[in-house]
């Protein structure tokens, strides 16, 4: 049987294609490496989900080699198995969109033309996107309605142009401490913004409303309120999904992909034929698949005759910080507000999405605020050391845990700014090491440009100012070039020139007629927000292009 479309990967990049094309009547198959879990399978089991990482492959079976280059040019190699360094995130139908917090921000118009607006930065490969914000805007709006985005589009200096006045769903209910935050921002003359979320506040779209479970980020949603690719798209379309199907090779001639080969969970190999292939296996794995699929027409990997596959890998730069609110500093009424359970702390700052320093305009970023995760085991274990770094046990530890957990609450922040693309951050494949399927593992070559750290620190200091003004204690911040495994993009960027990009502006590979890539791999630069909304929007955009191609 020959399908119209074969999609590799069922996350935010692949699912809009599956949804649009299968609903248009085309025969679509989705190959997903993970299992098919549904709402009834999900719980808030900290042991299973956070501590045993049930939605990630076991590192002994599947891993990466990480080569990290420091500021002096020295490269240190880590075997992911030995160092417990995992880049997996959501191996399941719907991918990591099941586990996202759903902080949904659009990119700004200037994110599409970073080079033109802010100029070149030495040592980086920044380029303008081949499309504009205006071309993507209708699809951002579509996502608001199809995936379901709630919030309040408050006017501010960097609010992106919108074709609709506001979000289709009202804001989720908020913890009263957001009022302390708003007051602190007003004093500091900062613009406090409500954070849009890909979470339904009401029953709609044949999904249930948010239950305010207090366990959102890192946990799959048991009501279906969170706009995962599975709940919002795959369960709403007729695409065939084959699970536990690890695609290890694409076969091609000189112009087209002919087959996708996959192993099932028993190690048996299967072949899928289709007119069009779409790869959306997560940025690192997408490049790995292309590189491992080399043949006589593409000896360096599929679509890699110009040596661009895997290049310009990016992450979200920035880091995090926190401050603690202690009951003894608060009135009884404030204590009550602080411990309100389950309600969201949906606040962010984008006042410095662009800022001036030493007479030069720089690209800044976003700061999202949220309460410390409700996971009680990790929270308790965080108390295992005293202030001098000595490990504690016995009654001293018990008392410290009791005091910390029952008489205070931590507010955290996350900084998102651009991770500049460079020649030193890219995906390759290992010459020797293979995974449990016998396929060469991906090598993640890491390098963080020093500029990223400067911007991250600038933003984090603004967040610290807010926490101080709110009266938090024990304030800390950590900005580093550690790559967040859940915020990865690039590797097959799109552009006009096939010498510097893998994909054309419609996310079709320059070198093949029927191969598209629609996960975050296409992004030449990442903007300064979490990627998911942009991945969804772009995938809906590409779906229109593929639909046109199939119909003609």
- Residues in touch with other proteins (CB under 8 A): 42-48, 51-54, 58-60, 78, 82-85, 211, 213-215, 219, 222, 319-320, 341, 374, 376-377, 380-381, 384, 390-391, 393-395, 397-398, 401-402, 405-406, 412, 414, 478, 480, 482, 484-486
Task: With beta carbons less than 8 A apart as the criterion, state whether 229 and 94 touch.
Answer: yes
Question: Of 380 and 454, which CB lies nearer to other proteins in the complex structure?
Answer: 380
Question: Of 447 and 494, which CB lies nearer to other proteins in the complex structure?
Answer: 447
Task: With beta carbons less than 8 A apart as the criterion, state whether 227 and 199 touch.
Answer: yes
| Smallest distance, other proteins to C-beta of residue 375, A | 9
DSSP code at position 198:
S
| Smallest distance, other proteins to C-beta of residue 416, A | 12
What distance in Å separates the CA atoms of residue 154 and residue 487, rounded to the nearest whole number?
26
| Smallest distance, other proteins to C-beta of residue 376, A | 5
What distance in Å separates the CA atoms of residue 456 and residue 355, rounded to the nearest whole number?
12
Q: Which residues pair with 363 in a beta bridge?
A: 354
Question: Of 82 and 432, which CB lies nearer to other proteins in the complex structure?
Answer: 82
Strands 440-446 and 426-434, bridge-based pairing: antiparallel
Question: What are all long-range contacts of 27-30, with beta carbons under 8 Å and residues at least 24 apart?
Answer: 27/3, 28/3, 28/4, 28/238, 28/239, 28/240, 29/3, 29/5, 29/239, 29/240, 29/241, 29/242, 29/272, 29/274, 30/234, 30/239, 30/240, 30/241, 30/242
Question: Of 11 and 80, which CB lies nearer to other proteins in the complex structure?
Answer: 80
Question: Of 138 and 217, which CB lies nearer to other proteins in the complex structure?
Answer: 217
DSSP string, 459-487: HHHHHHHHHHHHT-EEEEEEEE-PPPTTS
| Smallest distance, other proteins to C-beta of residue 379, A | 9
SS3 string of 93-131?
CCHHHHCCCCECCCCCHHHHHHHHHHCCCCCCCCCCCCC
| Smallest distance, other proteins to C-beta of residue 149, A | 23
Question: Of 220 and 301, which CB lies nearer to other proteins in the complex structure?
Answer: 220
Question: Of 43 and 240, which CB lies nearer to other proteins in the complex structure?
Answer: 43
| Smallest distance, other proteins to C-beta of residue 433, A | 17
| Smallest distance, other proteins to C-beta of residue 255, A | 41
């Amino acid at each position: 049987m020959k399908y119209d479309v074969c999609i590799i990967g069922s996350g935010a990049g692949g699912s809009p294609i599956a949804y649009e094309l299968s609903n248009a009547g085309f025969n679509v198959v989705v190959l997903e490496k993970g299992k098919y879990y549904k709402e009834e399978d999900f719980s808030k089991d900290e042991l299973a989900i956070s501590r045993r990482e049930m939605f990630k492959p076991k590192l002994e079976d599947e891993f990466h080699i990480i080569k990290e280059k420091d500021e002096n040019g020295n490269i240190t190699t880590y075997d992911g198995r030995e160092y417990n360094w995992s880049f997996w995130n959501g191996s399941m139908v719907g991918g990591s969109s099941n586990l996202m917090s759903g902080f949904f921000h659009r990119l700004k118009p200037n994110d599409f033309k970073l080079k033109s607006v802010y100029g070149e930065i030495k040592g980086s490969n920044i380029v303008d996107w081949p499309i504009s914000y205006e071309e993507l805007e209708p699809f951002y709006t579509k996502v608001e309605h199809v995936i379901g985005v709630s919030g309040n589009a408050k006017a501010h200096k960097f609010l992106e142009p919108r074709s609709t006045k506001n979000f289709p769903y009202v804001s989720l209910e908020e913890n009263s401490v957001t009022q302390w935050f708003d007051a602190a921002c007003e004093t500091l003359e900062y613009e406090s913004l409500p954070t849009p979320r890909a979470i339904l506040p009401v029953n709609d779209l044949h999904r249930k409303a948010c239950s305010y479970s207090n366990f959102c980020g890192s946990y799959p949603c048991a009501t279906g309120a969170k706009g995962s690719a599975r709940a919002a798209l795959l369960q709403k379309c007729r695409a065939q999904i084959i699970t536990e199907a690890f695609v290890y090779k694409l076969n091609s001639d000189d112009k087209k992909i002919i087959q996708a080969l996959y192993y099932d969970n028993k190690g048996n190999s299967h072949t899928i034929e289709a007119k069009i292939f779409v790869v959306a296996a997560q940025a690192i794995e997408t490049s790995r698949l292309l590189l491992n699929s080399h043949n006589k027409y593409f000896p360096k990997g599929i679509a890699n005759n110009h040596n661009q596959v895997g290049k310009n890998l990016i992450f979200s730069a920035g880091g995090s910080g926190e401050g603690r609110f202690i009951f003894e500093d608060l009135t009884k009424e404030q204590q009550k507000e602080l411990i309100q359970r389950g309600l969201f702390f949906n606040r962010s700052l984008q006042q410095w999405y662009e800022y001036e320093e030493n007479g030069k305009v720089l690209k800044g970023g976003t700061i999202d605020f949220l309460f410390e995760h409700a996971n009680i085991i990790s929270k308790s274990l965080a108390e295992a050391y005293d202030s001098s770094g000595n490990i504690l046990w016995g009654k001293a530890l018990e008392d410290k845990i009791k005091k910390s957990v029952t008489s205070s609450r931590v507010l955290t922040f996350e900084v998102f700014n651009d991770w500049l693309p460079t020649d030193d951050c890219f995906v390759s494949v290992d010459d020797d090491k293979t995974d449990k399927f016998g396929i060469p593992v991906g090598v993640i070559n890491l390098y963080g440009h020093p500029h990223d750290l400067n911007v991250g620190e600038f933003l984090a200091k603004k967040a610290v100012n807010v926490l101080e003004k709110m009266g938090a204690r024990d304030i800390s911040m950590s900005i580093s070039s550690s790559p967040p495994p859940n915020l990865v993009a690039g590797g097959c960027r799109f552009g006009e020139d096939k010498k510097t990009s893998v994909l054309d502006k419609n996310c079709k590979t320059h070198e093949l007629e029927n191969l598209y890539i629609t996960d975050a791999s296409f992004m030449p630069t990442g903007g300064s927000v979490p990627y998911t909304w942009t991945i969804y929007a772009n995938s809906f955009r590409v779906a229109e292009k593929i639909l046109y191609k199939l119909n003609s």
